[in-house]
Amino acid sequence: MIDFKQKIAQQISKVANLPEEEIYGYIEVPTDEKMGDFAFPCFKLAKELKKAPQMIAQDLKEQMTFEEGLIKEINVVSGYLNFTIQSQSIAEIVLKEINEKKEHYGESTMGQGKNIVIDYSAPNIAKPFHIGHLRSTVIGGALYKIHKALGYHCIGINHLGDYGTQFGKLIEGYKLWGEEYNIEEDPINELTKIYIRINNLCKEDESVLEACRDNFKKLEEGDKYCTDLWTKFRELSLKEFQRVYDMLQIDFDSWNGEAFYADKMQEVVDILQQKNLLVPSEGAMVVDLSQKDMPPCIIEKTNGSTTYATRDLAAILYRARTYDFTKALYVTSYEQILHFRQIFETAKNLNLSEKYANGLVHVPFGMVQLKTGKMSTREGNIIKLEELLNEAISRVEEIMKEKNPDLENREEIAKKIGIGAVIFNDLYNSRIKDEIFDWDTMLNFNGETGPYMQYIYVRTKSLLEKAGYIPNIQEIDFSKLSDEASMKVVKQIYNFGDSLKQAAEKYEPYIIARYLIGLAQAFSSFYNANKILGEEKVIQDARLYLTYATGIVLKIGAELLGIQMPDRM
Ligand code: ARG
């Protein structure tokens, strides 16, 4: 598809004699459409050209030449050059591209040949998969799909918390009281109960604590009884987690958790030792990071056991060698910002090629805040993800019973809307902001929500169904789409690829979520302003094709976020 930004950048670069890439980066899409479709802030060149922005703008305007039919007008407004694209030409370009690419519209090859590791979700074995992990799962899943659409080869890793002294305790608890608990039936809840009970006993009886430590040691040494139990706890937990992954349509390429690195940590210790970077501190072995204004990175605890950080360092070595990554993303809450700064800094000393050390990126996100008292949970204040998704679904079912009592497949549709609403709410704001979890807001069919976007999609579907045909692109008269409302939809569709790239560059799925609301709203205005069916055939065809295109892009975008579209609702 023609990249207008590039066309503009080419011209400016030629006239101003500056690199096209630099110019390209400065070109903006103005929020106020009265300012045109693209704007170039001339003050960016004031220094280089030693001229006032207003003068630069004037000079550029006079000297630029574009091919016929591309640019409608160029205006100079307070140091900006504003470009308005010829509406007929942009409609033609966009809709022909849709016709050609269909559900692959917006995809690119920019990531070709590049591997990107995405570490996300990572719940802890034998512990509840709670709402805090929702964000990691949903943001990570979206980043995976977005990068894939841009041609990257993605490796999704579920770095499970399946290692640590707590497994020694669980094994001991199971040994003592295993028969009292039905861990096959309700694994996480039952294992949690065992864990709490054994922990209490450990506090009372030092010899039990000793036995737990011993179990963990045996586990590390590969003792059969301990390993079998560990495997059982892991598998049962995963079976339970899998139900949530199925609901969210989340997949991983690797399930190597922390335990996978048990035999790979020694290398980290050896390298750091060789470089004299491992220093004793209060009985522990640490890497001093005071030069970087950080507390030390603890590699071995006082009792000689390794840490979460050591395993992450071993994982960096392993991932660099196994996946040869351009980038490795870690999606966790902002509580781990310091942890990742510490391990990324320490990783610079692991004899890795610089490209790997530079490719490490922490992608932090904010907390989930609940409006208290509004969410029903089974116990305490831990909100389990599965219960939450089920509640979303049943709430939507209630709404649907009222809105559309005759709807067929209500259950199936409620699932898509309910889960979609939760995902969309999670992705609608910059990830670092705390997320407010409020049912009324996220299930509002008229708000900036998942259900609203799905509702507009369903409307495009039903319009096409009513018409009974998709117009042939060859027969479209693109000049019939030059009214303001139609053009807004056309331009929004044109900008999809750009949003995709921005979302990947900033690791921000919200850019796509916002884009989709923008498109849904533009379509809604277009629909209100224009009669689509029953118009003169050429007009009907043009508008119907735009409707078809809108549906395609809404669906692609939603799927990138992990949201499925219902066909009716
Ligand atoms: N299991 C950890 C937690 O629940 C998250 C792991 C994130 N990934 C990593 N490589 N450290 O907090």
DSSP one-letter string for 302-370 = TTS-B-HHHHHHHHHHHHHHHH--SEEEEEEEGGGHHHHHHHHHHHTTS---HHHHHHEEEEEE--EEE
Q: End-to-end CA distance of the chain, in Å? A: 34
Please tell me if the CB atom of residue 258 comes closer than 6 angstroms to any atom of ligand 1: no
> What pLDDT was estimated at residue 377?
42
- How far, in whole angstroms, is CA 53 from its chain's centroid? 38
Radius of gyration of the chain (CA): 28
Chain-centre distance for alpha carbon 5: 26
Q: Which residues contact 294 (CB under 8 A, 6 or more apart)?
A: 338, 341, 342, 345
Predicted pLDDT of residue 128: 87
Query: Is 122 a pocket residue for ligand 1 (Cβ < 6 Å)?
Result: yes
What distance in angstroms lies between residue 256's CA and the mean position of ligand 1's atoms? 12
342 lines ligand 1 (CB under 6 A): no
DSSP 8-state symbol, 475: G
Look up residue 162 and give its DSSP letter: -
pLDDT at 374: 44
- In this structure, the residue with its CA closest to atom 8 of ligand 1 is 159
332 lines ligand 1 (CB under 6 A): yes
Please work out whether the CB of residue 159 comes within 6 Å of at least one atom of ligand 1: yes
CA distance 13 to 23: 7
Task: Quote the pTM value.
Answer: 0.94
Please give the pLDDT value at position 165: 87
Question: What atom of ligand 1 comes closest to residue 160's alpha carbon?
Answer: 1
Which position has the token pair 């670092």? 432
Residues of the chain with pLDDT under 70: 372-382
**CA 509 to chain CA centroid, nearest Å:** 5
Task: Give residue 382's pLDDT.
Answer: 64
> Where are the strands (E) in 166-258, listed by range?
none
Our mutation pick for probing the ligand 1 site, out of 188, 336, 344, counting the most ligand atoms within 8 A of Cβ, is: 336
Structure confidence at residue 131 (pLDDT) = 80
Residue 124 CB less than 6 A away from ligand 1: yes
Q: How far is CA 420 from CA 30, 426, 496, in A?
A: 30, 10, 20
Q: How far is the CA of 266 from the centre of ligand 1 (A)?
A: 20
Residue whose Cα lies nearest atom 5 of ligand 1: it is: 122
Residue 313 Cα to ligand 1 midpoint, Å, equals: 13
pLDDT at 25: 92
* Residue 90 CA to ligand 1 centre (angstroms): 46
CA distance 74 to 61: 7
Cβ of 132 less than 6 Å from ligand 1: no
Between strands 115-119 and 327-333, the pairing is parallel
Ligand 1 atom with the smallest distance to the CA of 332 is: 7
> Which tokens in the block code for residue 188?
């996480």
pLDDT for the residue 129: 86
Q: How far is the CA of 121 from the centre of ligand 1 (A)?
A: 8
Q: How many CB atoms lie within 10 A of CB 349?
A: 16
Cα 175 to Cα 183: distance, rounded to the nearest angstrom: 13
DSSP notation for 354-378: HHHHHHEEEEEE--EEE-TTSS--S
Q: Is 319 in the pocket of ligand 1 (CB under 6 A)?
A: no
Instruction: Give backbone dihedrals phi and psi of 162, rounded to 5 degrees, phi first.
Output: -120, 25
Please tell me the predicted confidence (pLDDT) of residue 198.
Answer: 96
220 lines ligand 1 (CB under 6 A): no
Phi, psi values for residue 379, rounded to 5°: -150, 145
Closest residue CA from atom 4 of ligand 1: 123
Ramachandran bin of 6, using left for φ above 0, alpha for ψ from -120 to 50, beta for the remaining angles:
alpha
Helices (H) and strands (E) in the chain, counts: 22, 12
CA-nearest of 417, 333, 426 to 385 is: 426
* Distances in whole angstroms, Cα of residue 373 to Cα of each of 370, 380, 437: 8, 12, 12
Q: Which helix (H) or strand (E) holds 402?
A: helix 385-403
Ligand 1, atom nearest to 312 Cα = 10
Sign of CA dihedral 428, 434, 435, 441: negative
* Residue with CA nearest ligand 1 atom 9: 159
CA distance 554 to 358: 35
